[in-house]
Amino acid sequence: MRSSQDHACRNESYNALPNTEFHLKMMQEAMVNEFIASISPTYLTINARLALKEPYIELSTEAEKRLEFGIEALKNNHIDLAQENFAKVLEMTNNQSYVAMHNLGLAYEAKGNFGMANTLYEKCTLLVKNPSEYSELVLSLSRIRKSLENEKIAIKQIES
């Protein structure tokens, strides 16, 4: 495993070696994260409903197209593309699009970034007004919190 600090040793103008303790700590964290990703599912089947229509705000034509494109990308497992489009819709709506925020949370969850997914789902609770959507959101929050709990357990086991 190499980092940008490895190159400093080969540069003649560099006067000091990289800080060993820092370098080892960074390598340890990278190895732990890589190991956790390999033993815990980063691919998972999420039984969740995509939010499809924006019931709370008026979207511009471009925002609607980006939202539709993001939904299709997520359905087709093009997670990065979905994230990019949902993030753009959130930017265009000043973080007021429930659909973009919820679906962006699903994309982060699909990639195994449970902390970010949890943050987005919690922000959704402030935007959702429909009881059926709220109950779906509660299921998403429950699912993501269980994933965060499992992730913490895996990290503790590795560090022991």
Instruction: Give the pLDDT confidence score for residue 1 in this predicted structure.
Output: 45
132 residue type, one letter: S
Residues 86-111 have pLDDT tens digits of: 999 999 999 999 889 999 999 999 88
Q: Is the pTM of this model over 0.75?
A: no
Instruction: Give the pLDDT confidence score for residue 18 in this predicted structure.
Output: 65
Q: Return the sign of the alpha-carbon dihedral for residues 22, 152, 112, 44.
A: positive
**Token duo for residue 11:** 């540069």
Instruction: Give the pLDDT confidence score for residue 38 in this predicted structure.
Output: 61
With a cut of 70, list the residues of the chain below it in pLDDT.
1-18, 33-34, 36-52, 55
